[in-house]
Amino acid sequence: MRTLTFLLGLTLATIGCGSASSGGDESGISQDETDCEEGMTLVVSGDAVVCGPFNEDAILLPSDELATCGASAPNASCSQADFCEAEGCGADGDMFDQNGCRRTLCETDQDCGAGRHCYTTSPEVDGCLANSNYACAPMGDDPCLCYANLICGLESHCVDD
């Protein structure tokens, strides 16, 4: 089940504390190993990666495992296993597939391709989903803490038959 923390209106200014180097992932951004202070995590700031505030507005550098999702990578710096434990991955009603990648949104089965169909979530069956304002990162003793605003509406996304 999703373990999301509901936060509204949390906005903090990004501050830097680490050194960044270019190259690495497809965005051209990578980060030397840097330990951030408590409450901070690696965030993308322009063309650099810095230690910044951890909140739902932060754009995080994905872990190497989640970076393989490309443009469908979640806004998470946790490992794939920890992210999926916190957020839920792979079940039909989950926003993310078994690899932690954001599922393709659809309207009909034809939008999904061969061997896949369009599944519409239900809050009664699948629970509430996070909207686009979320961030997940290791924080303190929690291997993957997620901040998010929840919506208890419907979403249609592609799942395997």
Segment 16-71, tens digit of pLDDT = 333 333 334 444 444 444 577 887 888 887 788 888 888 778 888 899 999 999 99
Stated pTM of the model: 0.72
CA 86 to chain centroid, in Å, comes to 10
Kindly calculate the radius of gyration of the chain based on its CA atoms and give it in whole angstroms.
16
Q: What confidence category does residue 13 fall into, taking pLDDT thresholds of 50, 70 and 90?
A: very low
Hey, where are the domains in the chain?
Answer: 4-160
**Which residue, among 63, 57, 17, has the nearest Cα to 37 in the 3D structure?**
17
Buried b (16+ CB within 10 A) or exposed e, 91-110: eebbbbbeebbbbbebeeee
Q: What is the mean pLDDT of the chain?
A: 78
